[in-house]
Chain A
């Protein structure tokens, strides 16, 4: 199954700053997604990262706040812009195609704390 590496694993950020999270996969994958998990909550899909084109955002998420890049089939970045304490969450990269074609596999996540 695909192995996903995320950086940073955790960070503490100041209000008003931006942070970029990187997601590297050890094999080419067609579909890549970014999720957010707020403290004590379930996971919410932010967007689908599309290779070579603009990401597809879910309701409640916008490109200005969460710009996403995906230059190739193994790499993507998510930026959390102009952060506020409400952005304190775990951000998770996931890909389709773990031990099966329709299986979703996750990276270890990036835990952000905004002060």
Chain B
């Protein structure tokens, strides 16, 4: 089955810093999402981005499907950005069964 690896596994930032999170996947995908899991466990959808670039405020994401990776950019980080970031890709085309990556645990210090 498809493998989804994220890097770095852990990241500590000072408030105001920028960061880039990476998601590599082992096969071509039709669907890809980025999620933020807050410290209370709630999963929030950040981007649906099977290809191309999207921006939402301080966050942006880019997926290069032909090279099998996606990047999530966080600018001017805030303490509320802390939590775990997951990318998820559709395992088998047309099933909508999303396979989750290994996650990046982010802590932003005040």
Residues on A lying within 8 angstroms of B by beta carbon are: 31, 33, 35, 42-45, 48, 58, 90, 92, 96, 98-100, 102-106, 108-109, 111
Contact = CB atoms under 8 A, between A and B. Distances in A.
Given A103-B33, A104-B33, A45 B97 contact: yes
Interface size class of B (residues with CB under 8 A): 20 to 34
Question: Residue among B42, B48, B90, B96 with the most chain A CB within 10 A?
Answer: B96
Interface string B10-38: 00000000000000000000010101000
Contact of B86 (A33, A43, A99): A43
What is the interface of chain B mostly: helix, strand, loop, or mixed? Answer: strand
Contacts of A99: 45, 48
A98 B45 contact: yes
A42 to B, nearest CB: 5
B98 A45 contact: yes
Contacts of B43: 43, 92, 106, 109
Contacts, number: 50
A58 to B, nearest CB: 8
B41 A90 contact: yes
Interface of B: 31, 33, 35, 41-43, 45, 48, 86, 88, 90, 95-103
B98 to A, nearest CB: 5
Contacts of A33: 97-98
A103 B41 contact: no
A48 B97 contact: yes
Given A43-B86, A100-B48, A102-B31, A108 B100 contact: no
A45 B1 CA distance: 13
Given A43-B43, A43-B100, 9 more contacts: A42-B100, A42-B102, A45-B97, A48-B95, A100-B48, A103-B45, A104-B88, A106-B42, A108-B41
